[in-house]
Amino acid sequence: MSRTRQPRIPVSSPDGSVVVRTNPVTFPTGHMSSVHTHEWDQLTYASRGTITVETADGFWALPPHRAVWVPAGLSHKEEMSAPSTVRTLYFVRGLVKSMPRNCLAVNVGPLLRELILYTCKIGALDRAVGRHARLIGVILDQIELLSMIPVQLPAPRDPRAARVAELLRRDPCSQETLARLARRAGAAQRTIERLFRAETKMSFSAWRARLRLLEALKRLAAGEPVTRVSLEVGYNSPSAFIARFKRELGATPRRFQLS
């Protein structure tokens, strides 16, 4: 699939003083990257659309106006469930000291959002240039203040639990019982419950509820009505869905759609 990009970004400077690069990209619905790594740390901000980032540890469904941190060297792939506008900052490894060496989804405040957009217009930041050095300092200060959002779904490693997880990821709205899913995976229900708790640090029911919430994020980002989404992802009523959504993400589904 095609994508648009601004091919004006230097990879590095002769003396290594370029420490921040950018990549503003627009992706079509359904774009999926292959598994890959980067030599630089990256902060990917979704200004439009929903991005799913997957690693060996799980996946993150990134709503609009949030960002995902992917450290250098971490194998990952990305998928777009709707037309998506993405702005990525790449940092030379070691520059951002406040972020972990694992994938993380974060809220992006108004100031950092504008800093990301402005930096993408510049193309790259060279710390040997005074105004660039000052901008780098402000960006690093803002990154240090980032707060995590609960849009990660950990992946179980045991083949039986992984089989159940894969069945549900293929059909997040499935009403199939755990007992039946466990039989399809060749395990007892209690075994699957134990494996999910041990390997994802979540109960199976909590894991499944998180999966449905992430599916709801994708559908809401695509413009589907809140009532339809709530019923299709398995809630008995829109009010129950709205309450869960607000408790998990700090905003109502409608506010999320308008953001």
Residue spans per domain, the chain: 4-144, 156-258
**What is d(CA 53, CA 147) in angstroms, rounded to the nearest whole number?**
18
Same topology, domains 4-144 and 156-258? Answer is no
Asked whether 56 and 155 are in contact (CB, 8 A), the reply is: yes
* Lookup result for tokens 């994708």: 218
Q: How many CB atoms lie within 10 A of CB 130?
A: 9
pLDDT of 150? 82
Residues facing residue 120 across a β-bridge: none
pLDDT tens digits along 63-79: 888 899 999 999 999 98
Structural fold of domain 4-144: Jelly Rolls (2.60.120)
pLDDT of 149? 85
Q: Which two tokens stand for residue 58?
A: 């799980």
Asked whether 71 and 37 are in contact (CB, 8 A), the reply is: no
pLDDT of 3? 37
Second CATH level (architecture) for the domain 156-258: Orthogonal Bundle (1.10)
Give just the sign of the alpha carbon dihedral 219, 223, 225, 228. Answer: negative
Q: What is the mean pLDDT of each run of 10 residues along the chain (259 residues)?
A: 38 73 88 91 90 90 89 92 88 94 92 97 94 97 92 93 95 93 97 97 95 89 89 90 87 80
